[in-house]
Amino acid sequence: MPEMGKLYLVSTPIGNLGDITLRALETLREVDYVASEDTRRTGLLLKHFDIKKPQISFHEHNEQRVIGRIIGLLREGKSVAVVTSAGTPSISDPGFVALWEAVKEGLEVTAIPGATAFVPALVLSGMPVYSFTFRGFPPHKPGKRRKFLEMDRDSPHTLIYYESPYRLRKFLTEAMEVFGNRHAAVCKELTKLFERVTRGRLSQLLDDLEENPKGEYVIVIAGAEIGGNRDDEPDV
């Protein structure tokens, strides 16, 4: 019986290719296959670092179908790296299904840590970092999004969200309705050429928001007990 292969969850840069780790490069060079959320984007990454590996398309629309092939390769003794389009697998990206199925099968799994967008956003936001809740992407539908936000209305922890530029204004508007006019930060295109962090009250962030926002955004909102929504609190 062949020795079982190993599954690697490999973090990749969220914008600046210089942020890739030495371990990530070493792993990508040594594995047999790379399971990619976006084969074109990962192909460019691999090419940039002169790495030639066969890719398996593995994303949210096909992961239930493709996971059987990945598990089969691992059982044959092959090693597979799971890579998303940017950041850390499983963090608002594919990866969890592969991890869970490999664990159920008793296969070896490890993570190669690296970039993920919410950490630099939290650090740069000016909000307290000692206790926070990462919520990822809110639901698209207004009713579900409202309930999603209301779950944390009374939470004292700093809140972190991802959001599409097409829904950013609606999200900020609804966040102000639910949380009040709290301190917050909108982080745009982190680690990239046009990185920008805007800090202020939610109302100020709405006023400052460009008419047609583009790029990738992380929103950080103060918790209920810190930088809350009272009008008599000083701005920062």
| Tens digit of pLDDT at every position of the chain (236 positions) | 568 899 999 999 999 999 999 999 999 999 999 999 999 999 999 999 999 999 999 998 898 899 999 999 999 999 999 999 999 999 988 899 999 999 999 999 999 999 999 999 999 999 999 999 999 999 999 899 999 999 999 999 999 999 999 999 999 999 999 999 999 999 999 999 999 999 999 999 999 998 899 999 999 999 997 444 444 444 44
Interstrand relation of 55-57 and 80-83 (parallel, antiparallel or unpaired): unpaired
**pLDDT 10s digits, 173-228:** 999 999 999 999 999 999 999 999 999 999 999 999 988 999 999 999 999 974 44
Q: What percent of the chain has pLDDT over 70?
A: 94
pLDDT given at position 1: 55
Interstrand relation of 80-83 and 158-163 (parallel, antiparallel or unpaired): unpaired
* Structure tokens given for 235: 């701005």
CA 43 – CA 52 distance, rounded (Å): 9
For 209, other C-beta atoms within 10 Å of its C-beta total: 17
Query: Which pTM was predicted?
Result: 0.89
Domains of the chain: 6-112 (3.40.1010.10), 118-221 (3.30.950.10)
Q: Containing H/E element for 163?
A: strand 158-163
